[in-house]
Chain A
Amino acid sequence: MRILVVDDSERLRSALATGLAGSGFAVDQAADGGEALSYLHSADYDVIVLDLMMPVIDGIGVLREIRRRELHCRVLILSARDQIGDRVQALDLGADDYLVKPFAFEELRARVQALARRRHDERAPLLTHGKLSIDTVAQNARVDDEVLPLTPKEFSLLVLLLRHRGRTMSREAVFEHLYSSESTASDKVIEVLMSTLRGKLSKAGLAELIETRRGFGYLVN
């Protein structure tokens, strides 16, 4: 899942990016509203963590632009403004959630995950496919109650393919979802990642779970 963190505090941005990346999210960072709109122009995000009081274009301006462009990303407002009027205004303008600073990082992560699930119309944090079940909150995958030892990126890749079940995802699309814009890796890393994931699935008896469509990408049926 790809997240955009927009905040004028460089320290807070970095801390959030580090923490969310550690949870398997691909995180981009923007220092103001103008930079955030540039990111939104070039990539598709699942969730945007958006500060309100920022220079150039404030959070409300960004929110209006997101809804004007009819982007389907979920927006979590992260602001020091704690007045009811501020929350109502942001939610009325199309924000999906509102968290007041300071906050617990675990709560932010849980809310981001919940918003990401809502984007994919999942009511419960549980994805299943045959004997494979994935808990997106506990962040573990099981085959017949046996835990699959996946790395965060492998886990994110598996979740991504299951969420887009029946649809072929190109290598570039997968890369865009799993890696931030600032990543120095090339999209060939997806092949390596796919290989290690398949190896672990194969050991669990799910060798055929992910199909490769030559020239198109990867598919879970």
Chain B
Amino acid sequence: MRLSFVDQLSVLLTVLLGIILSTLFWFVDVRIDAELYGRFDRGLQNRLNLLADMQGVGAGGVKSNRLERWLPEYAEQGHTAFYQIWDAQGATVARSESSNGRDLPAPPALEPGAPALFYDVVLPDGHDGRAALRRYALPAGDSRGSLSLMIAEERTSLDALERSLHFALLGGTALALVLAIIAVRWVAVRTLAPLQRLGEAASKIDPDGKLNTLEVQGLPAELAPMADKINVLLERLFATIARERRYARDLAHELRTPMAETRAIAEVALLTGDHEALRHSLTEIAAIGAEMQRVVETLLMLARYEAGMDRLIAEPVELVALVRAQLRRLDDGIRGKRIRFVLSLPQEAWVLADASACERILSNLLGNAVAHAPENSVASIDLFDKGGGYQLLIGNAAPRLRSDDMAQLSGRFYRGDAPPNRHHAGLGLALALALAKAQGLAMQWQLDEGLRFQVSLRGFAPLPD
């Protein structure tokens, strides 16, 4: 299961606070216990000293004072305080009346004069108690050897106090932990709310639907730049998706039509069964296949140049010779439409460029001029150098073009209102533009008011001196 940020933060902070509060609880509990028992033991010590003095144990003998007269808690009715004195042989020398003749537990071995020993014992009445023990040396020659004085007091009230303090501390810690969990959750939810809103908005983005950008207003300073950047990327992504869909649709159309032609021609020819019709149909189908191949190859070339897969090689190229060679190649079309080309070319124009790319650009631009210029019209080619390198201008009459077409001319398969002709699939200008860009040339076009289309190519690198 994938936890949310709020859940992760809540769990982490709760565990951390739990550890801190538990440690605090343990420390305070230990300190309270130590203080309570320390105080109790100090009280026992004082009482032990008092009893030793009063009984004369420290002075080497046991007085026959009846202590119970001054300390009634040791009297017969008492049941919370006890004392007992043993000699070195373990024989009882004296005991409190409250013991009612019963012994306190026998004392452990202790060196005479050693500091008092404190430990828990079971009292003569069976209750839990705490005892203080000290051993006193007797003068040499005293047959008793030494005297051990033990006093013991019931610790029920001390245990009850410790328990109540323990529960209060535990309850306080638990309450603090619960309040901390609630506070942590509230803070986490509140702090991460903008992130959650951003996530929800992002999850609603449908790549197949309309572009919905993320709301940047109200986002914290840490998230706003991220949302801004995502919005920019989304806009680019949607534009790319739209362009790719349009391209795929156009490509499908460009290939489906010849496929439909091929199939229809073949099926109809088979229906008629006429030998001559079959022969004619096969010729048509071969021509359609060649046209489809040309479209696919041009598209692949375009894709390779746009993706930078084909590297262009700069070398000395003479543009005038290239222009004249392309005009010779198009001579049949030029003569067929009786187009007159007005040339303004220098003797030679050497530049540093990719020769085959330049040849392809010129082939496409001049081919378009011949294909789209009306019959008996005038076309022009100007090549000049005004100091910033050579610039090429190709102009022709274009009565079918509108100014609206200018922005779309470099789009793939765009033909405007030109009659369908798969020798010109609407890829030439797109390919020429890609080739020009690939070698750093600037290509622009415009339609003047006299419906004359002009394309310019500039930025040719001069030959090095």
Residues in B262-316 with C-beta less than 8 Å from chain A? 262-265, 267-268, 271-272, 277, 284, 288
CA distance A34 to B310 in the complex (A): 44
Within 8 A of B (CB), among A85-105: 100-105
Contact segment of A15-23, A112-120, A193-201 = A15-23
Cβ contact within 8 Å between B263 and A105: yes
Q: Is the CB of A104 within 8 A of B253?
A: no
| B140: interface (CB < 8 Å) | no
Knowing A22-B272, A55-B419, A56-B417, say if A9 contacts B261 (CB, 8 Å). yes
Q: Report which of A16, A102, A104, A106 forms a contact with B262, defined as CB distance below 8 A.
A: A102
Residues of chain B from 227 to 269 with CB closer than 8 A to chain A in the complex: 249, 252-253, 256-257, 259-265, 267-268
Q: Output the nearest chain B residue to A14 by Cβ-Cβ distance.
A: B265
Closest residue of chain A to B281 (Cβ to Cβ) is: A15
Report the separation of the CA atoms of residues A9 and B268 in the bound assembly, to the nearest whole angstrom.
16
Stretch at the interface among A66-74, A75-83, A132-140: A75-83
CB pair B252–A19 under 8 Å, yes or no, is no
17 contacting pairs across A/B (C-beta < 8 A): A9-B261, A15-B268, A16-B268, A19-B264, A19-B268, A22-B268, A22-B271, A55-B420, A56-B417, A80-B252, A82-B252, A101-B257, A102-B256, A102-B260, A104-B267, A105-B271, A106-B267
Ranked nearest first, the 10 interchain pairs of A and B with the lowest CB-CB distance are A101-B260, A80-B256, A19-B268, A105-B267, A102-B260, A15-B264, A80-B253, A102-B259, A101-B256, A11-B261
Q: Mark A176-194, 1 if CB is under 8 A from B, else 0.
A: 0000000000000000000
Q: Is the interface of B mostly helix, strand, loop or mixed?
A: helix
Cα A41 to Cα B16 with chains together (Å): 86
Cα distance A56–B419 in the bound complex, in angstroms: 9
Q: Given A80-B253, A80-B256, A102-B256, does the pair A55, B267 have CB atoms closer than 8 Å?
A: no
**A12 to chain B: which residues have CB within 8 Å?**
257, 260-261, 264
Q: Are A11 and B267 in contact (CB under 8 A)?
A: no
Minimal beta-carbon separation of A138 from chain B (angstroms):
15
Point out which of A11, A19, A55, A100 has the most chain B C-beta atoms below 10 A from its C-beta.
A11
Return A143 CB to nearest CB of chain B, in Å. Answer: 27
Asked, given contacts A8-B420, A15-B264, A55-B419, whether A80 binds B257 with beta carbons under 8 Å apart, the answer is: yes
Residues of A within 8 A of B (CB): 8-9, 11-12, 15-16, 18-19, 22, 53, 55-56, 78, 80-83, 100-106
Separation in Å of the B281 CB from the closest CB of chain A?
A: 8
Pair B420/A9 contact, Cβ less than 8 Å: yes
Q: Cβ of A83 and Cβ of B261 under 8 Å apart?
A: no
Closest beta carbon of chain B to A137's beta carbon, Å:
16
A102: chain B residues within 8 A (beta carbon): 256, 259-260, 262-264
Tell whether, in the assembled complex, residue B420 and residue A19 are in contact, meaning their CB atoms are under 8 Å apart: no
Question: Chain A residue with minimal CB distance to B270?
Answer: A105
Q: How far is the CA of A55 from the CA of B419 in the complex (A)?
A: 7
Sample of 13 further A-B pairs with CB below 8 A, known A8-B419, A19-B271 = A15-B261, A16-B268, A18-B272, A18-B277, A19-B268, A55-B418, A55-B419, A56-B417, A80-B257, A81-B249, A81-B253, A101-B259, A104-B263
| Complex CA distance for A11 and B283, rounded to whole angstroms | 12
Q: Contacting B257 at CB < 8 Å: which of A9, A16, A82?
A: A9
Complex-state Cα separation, A209 to B79, whole angstroms: 141
Query: What is the CA–CA distance of A18 and B256 in the complex, to the nearest angstrom?
Result: 20
Which A residues lie within 8 Å of B261 (CB)? 9, 11-12, 15
**In whole Å, how far is B340's beta carbon from the nearest beta carbon of chain A?**
27
A101: chain B residues at CB < 8 Å are 256-257, 259-260
Give the residues in chain A near B260, CB-CB below 8 Å: 9, 12, 78, 80, 101-103
Q: A8 to B257, alpha carbons, bound, how many Å?
A: 10
The complex places the Cα of A105 from the Cα of B257 at a distance, in Å, of: 14
CB closest residue in chain A, given B253: A80
Asked, given contacts A9-B420, A55-B418, A102-B262, whether A83 binds B249 with beta carbons under 8 Å apart, the answer is yes
- Point out the residues of chain B lying under 8 angstroms from A80, CB to CB: 252-253, 256-257, 260
Report B253 CB to chain A, min CB distance, Å: 4
Most chain A CB inside 10 Å of its own CB: which residue of B256, B259, B262:
B256
| Complex contacts, B420 vs chain A, CB 8 Å | 8-9, 55
Q: Closest CB-CB distance, B3 to chain A, in whole Å? A: 41
Chain B residues with CB under 8 A of A9: 257, 260-261, 420
How far apart sit A174 and B344, CA to CA, in the bound complex (Å)? 64
Q: How far, in angstroms, from A16 to B418 measured CA to CA in the complex?
A: 23
B290 to chain A, nearest CB (A): 13
The residue in chain B whose Cβ has the minimal distance to the Cβ of A15 is: B264
Taking CB atoms, residues of chain A closer than 8 Å to B288 are: 11
B419 touches A11 (CB 8 A): no
Most buried by A among B252, B256, B257, B259: B257
Which of A8, A15, A83: most chain B CB closer than 10 A? A15
Q: Which of these, B268, B418, B419, contacts A105 with CB under 8 Å?
A: B268
Chain B residues near A103: list those with CB within 8 A: 260, 263-264
Residues of chain B within 8 A of A106, CB atoms compared: 267
Q: In the complex, how many angstroms separate the beta carbon of B115 from the nearest chain A beta carbon?
A: 99
Residue from B259, B264, B272 whose CB has the most chain A CB atoms within 10 Å: B264
Chain B proximity of A23: nearest CB distance (Å): 8
Q: Within the complex, what minimum Cβ distance (angstroms) separates B442 from chain A?
A: 31
Out of A15, A53, A55, A104, which one reaches B265, CB within 8 Å?
A15
Measured between beta carbons, the chain A residues less than 8 angstroms from B262 are 102
Cα of A55 to Cα of B426 in the assembled complex, Å: 14
Question: Which residues of the other chain, B, contact A22 by a CB distance below 8 angstroms?
Answer: 268, 271-272
Complex: A78 Cα to B261 Cα, angstroms? 12
CA distance A47 to B257 in the complex (A): 21
CB distance from A21 to the nearest CB of B (A): 10
Q: What is the CA–CA distance of A206 and B262 in the complex, to the nearest angstrom?
A: 44
B277 surroundings in chain A (CB, below 8 A) = 18
**B contact residues around A56 at 8 Å (CB):** 417
